[in-house]
C-alpha cells in the first residue's frame, strides 16, 4: 500500500458518553488522550487497539470516518516510543458529518 495515500476511511473508538455528547455538537467530543493530536486507526488496526485499550469496557462506539471531511493535518507516524504507525490528526477535529457508520460494540466481559 502506498503510505502517502490517505485511506478513504479511518476509524475512531469512542466511549458511549462521548458519542452521546457529540450528537448536539458540530464535532466529535474527544478525551484528553486526543489533546496533542487525534488518534485514528486503519480498519486492520482496530482489533489491536480494542484489545489494548477497550477490552474491559462493556460498551463503546466504533466510528467509520470519511477522511475527506476531516479538518487539520493528517500524519502517518509511530506513536512516541512505539514502532507501529498510526494516523494522527494535528490541529483539527472530526466533524460529526464525517461519520459514515457508528457501530455500537457490546463486550462479553462480565
CATH number of the domain enclosing 100: 3.20.170.20
Q: Is residue 4 part of a domain?
A: no
> What confidence tier does 110 reach under pLDDT thresholds 50, 70, 90?
very low
Residue with cell 460494540: 105
Domains held by the chain: number: 1
pLDDT digits (tens, 9 = 90+) for 66-78: 999 999 999 999 9
The verdict on residue 1 lying in a domain is no
In a domain, 2, yes or no: no
In a domain, 3, yes or no: no
Which pTM value belongs to this model? 0.90
Evaluate whether residue 71 is within a structural domain.
yes
Sign, CA torsion 69/73/78/79? negative
List, as one string, the DSSP characters of the chain: --TTSPPSEEEEEEEHHHHHHHTTSSB----GGGSSSEEEB-GGGHHHHIIIIITT-SEEEEEEEEGGG-EEEEEEEEPTT--SEEEEEEEEE-BGGGEEEEEEEE----
Query: What φ, ψ does residue 70 adopt, rounded to 5°?
Result: -75, 145
Which residue segment(s) compose the domain that 39 sits in? 9-106
Chain segment 28-59, per-residue pLDDT in tens: 999 999 999 999 999 999 999 999 999 999 99
For the chain, what is the radius of gyration of the CA atoms? 14
Residue 49 is assigned to a structural domain of this protein: yes
Amino acid at each position: 500500500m502506498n503510505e502517502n495515500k490517505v485511506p478513504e476511511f479511518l476509524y475512531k473508538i469512542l466511549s458511549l458518553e462521548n458519542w452521546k455528547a457529540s450528537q448536539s455538537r458540530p464535532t466529535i467530543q474527544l478525551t484528553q488522550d486526543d489533546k496533542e493530536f487525534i488518534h485514528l486507526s486503519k480498519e486492520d488496526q482496530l482489533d489491536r487497539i480494542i484489545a489494548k485499550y477497550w477490552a474491559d469496557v462493556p460498551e463503546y462506539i466504533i466510528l467509520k470516518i470519511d477522511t475527506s471531511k476531516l479538518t487539520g493535518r493528517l500524519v502517518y507516524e509511530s506513536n512516541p516510543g512505539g514502532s507501529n504507525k498510526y494516523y494522527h490528526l494535528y490541529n483539527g477535529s472530526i466533524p460529526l458529518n464525517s461519520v459514515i457508520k457508528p457501530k455500537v460494540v457490546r463486550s462479553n466481559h462480565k
